[in-house]
Structure 1
Amino acid sequence: MRKFNINVNGTMYEVDVEEVGGDAPVRPSVQAAKPAPKAATPKKQTPKAAVVEGQVDIKSPMPGSIFKINVSENETVEAGQVLLILEAMKMENEIVAPQAGTVSKIMVNEGVSVNTGDQLVIIE
């Protein structure tokens, strides 16, 4: 018999495998071992800016990474103007201004990863 530890979806199993000669099938004996403690995964803390009345908070519609930022803070933008490019699933997605205004805060940098709902830009 040979013993192996096998991890299946985070649960460790101790497996005894009997060695046999010839072409006979291997008959494993499986016993559940104590589950390995899960390591705490650090959560990415994205700074959030408070949005006041009259400001528009533009959030990420999907997870991805910021490919290019086309505007700067204090820049005047028109409705429909491309603010930044979000790369997701090998596609470049244009994030546009929903209304005319002034960019008051850019919450991301090029190359950073974002999740759905993360703040990208605030327009007033």
Structure 2
Amino acid sequence: MTIKKYAVTVDGQTYQVTLEELSDSAVQVYEKASNQASHTSQRAMTSNEHPVVAPMAGTILEITVKVGDSVKKGETLCLLEAMKMENQIVAPVDGVVTSVHVTKGQGVESNQLLIVI
């Protein structure tokens, strides 16, 4: 098993991550779980919809928009607590919120669908 440390920058914020090389059997288990989760939490997006996903696992502290709200690019949609830090999840584009897939206090996984604009 090999463990390596990396620095990853997301939206101008740098995070230190540690990655572990998995065995082939472990990869198959993770891929199966990931595929099952994506089928249950994701839906088909139309070409004019923009999904907003969790950049990391955490807990939703606050949701600042609701379905039908107009938002501007960069506007805060919700707050996600991860590793005792509050992270603003912002709108990637100008648009109208078409669906909200999380609730306050809900735990979310990395890449989980939060909001659709």
Give the one of 103, 112, 115 matched to 1:118.
112
Q: Which of 50, 58, 69 is the equivalent residue of 1:56?
A: 50
| Alignment partner, residue 74 of structure 1 | 68
Return 5+ residue gaps in structure 2 as ranges: 1-32
- The ranges of structure 1 where at least 4 consecutive aligned residues each deviate by more than 6 angstroms after the TM superposition are none
- Superposed, 1:80-91 pairs within 5 Å as 80-91=74-85
For residue 99 of structure 1, what is the aligned residue in structure 2? 93
Q: Which has the larger radius of gyration?
A: 1
SS at match of 1:68: strand
Name the amino acid aligned to 1:75. Answer: D
Deviation at 1:50, TM superposition (A): 2.1
Superposed displacement of residue 93, structure 1: 0.2
Larger RCO, structures 1/2 (Cα 8 Å, 6+ apart):
2
Supply the AA of the counterpart residue of 1:64: G
Structure ranking higher in helix proportion: 2
RMSD: 1.6
Give identity over the alignment, percent.
Answer: 37
Deviations 1:96-120 (A, max 9, x none): 0011000000010010100001000
With normalisation by structure 1, the TM-score equals 0.61
